Structure 1
Amino acid sequence: MKNATNVVAWQTERVELWGLILVGLAHLVHHKKAQAAYGRHIILSPLVRTVPARLAWFLQEMPAFLIPLLLMQLPHKPSTMGKYLLLKTFFLHYFQRTFVYSLLTRGQPFPLGVMVSAGLFCSINGFLQGHYLLHCAQFDDKWSSCFRYNIGLLLFYLGMAINVHSDYILRNLRKPKEIVYKIPTGGLFEYVSGANYLGEIAEWLGYAVATWSLPSISFFIFSFCFLGPRAYYHHRFYQEKFKEYPKSRKALIPFLF
Structure 2
Amino acid sequence: MAKLLQDLVYQEESPSIYTTALSGITLLFLAYLGISETLGNHLKYSKFWNVNSQKSGGGIKLPSRTGMLLLYSPAAVAGLASFLIFPGGGIRFLMLKLAITIHFSKRVLESLFVHKYSGGMMLDSVVIISSSYLFAATGMIYIHHMTLEATEPLVDLKYLGLLLFLIGISGNFYHHYLLSKLRKKNEKDYKIPTGGLFDLVICPHYLFEILDLLGISFISQTLFSYSCAIGCAFYLIVRSYATRQWYLSKFENFPKNVKALIPFVF
Amino acid in the other structure paired with 1:29? I
The answer on 1:41 being equivalent to 2:48 is yes
Summarize the alignment of residues 67-78 of structure 1 with structure 2, pairs less than 5 Å apart: 67-74=78-85, 78=88
User: Is residue 254 of structure 1 aligned with residue 263 of structure 2?
Assistant: yes
Answer whether contact 1:250 1:256 (CA < 8 A) is retained. Answer: yes
The Cα of 1:101 is off from its aligned counterpart by 3.1
Q: Contact (CA 8 Å) 1:25, 1:225: kept in 2 or not? A: yes
Partner of residue 35, structure 2: 29
Q: Is the 8 A contact 1:162 1:199 kept in 2?
A: yes
Seen in structure 2, the aligned counterparts of structure 1 residues 190 and 133 have a Cα distance that, compared at 3 Å, is: same
Figure out how many residues of one structure are paired with residues of the other and give that number.
248
2-structure distance, mates of 1:157, 1:225: 21
Native 8 Å contact 2:96 2:220 kept in 1: no
Give 5+ residue unaligned stretches, structure 1: 1-6
The answer on whether the counterparts of 1:78 and 1:134 sit within 8 Å (CA) in structure 2 is no
Q: Structure 2 CA distance, aligned partners of 1:52 and 1:69?
A: 26
2-structure distance, mates of 1:139, 1:158: 29
Question: Is 1:201 aligned to 2:210, yes or no?
Answer: yes
Contact 1:54 1:103 in 2 (8 A): no
What secondary structure does 2:157 align onto?
Answer: helix
For 1:1-257, list aligned pairs within 5 A. 10-34=16-40, 35-43=42-50, 44=53, 47-74=58-85, 78-107=88-117, 108-137=119-148, 148-257=157-266
Task: Give the C-alpha shift of residue 33 in structure 1.
Answer: 2.6
Structure 2: distance between partners of 1:208 and 1:142: 13
More helix by share: 1
Please report how far the alpha carbon of residue 185 of structure 1 lies from its aligned counterpart in structure 2 after TM superposition. 0.5
User: How far did residue 78 of structure 1 move?
Assistant: 4.1
**Which residue does the alignment assign to 1:3?**
none
The TM-score normalised by the length of structure 1 is 0.86
The aligned amino acid for 1:134 is H
Identity %: 25
Deviations 1:130-169 (A, max 9, x none): 11233434587999xx762222211111111111011111
Supply the AA of the counterpart residue of 1:233: A
Shift of 1:71: 3.5
One-letter amino acid of the counterpart of residue 90, structure 1: I
Q: What's the secondary structure of 1:85's corresponding residue? A: helix
Partner-residue secondary structure (3-state), 2:38: coil
CA deviations 1:165-206 (Å, max 9, x no partner) are 111111110123312111101111111011111110111112
RMSD (Å), alpha carbons = 2.6
The higher-RCO structure (CA 8 Å, 6+ apart) is: 2
Alignment check: 8 A CA contact 1:54 1:104 kept: no
TM-score computed with the length of structure 2 as normaliser: 0.83
SS of residue paired to 1:179: coil
Say if 1:60 and 1:122, in contact at 8 Å, map to a contact too. yes
- Asked if the contact 2:37/2:242 (under 8 Å) is kept, the reply is no
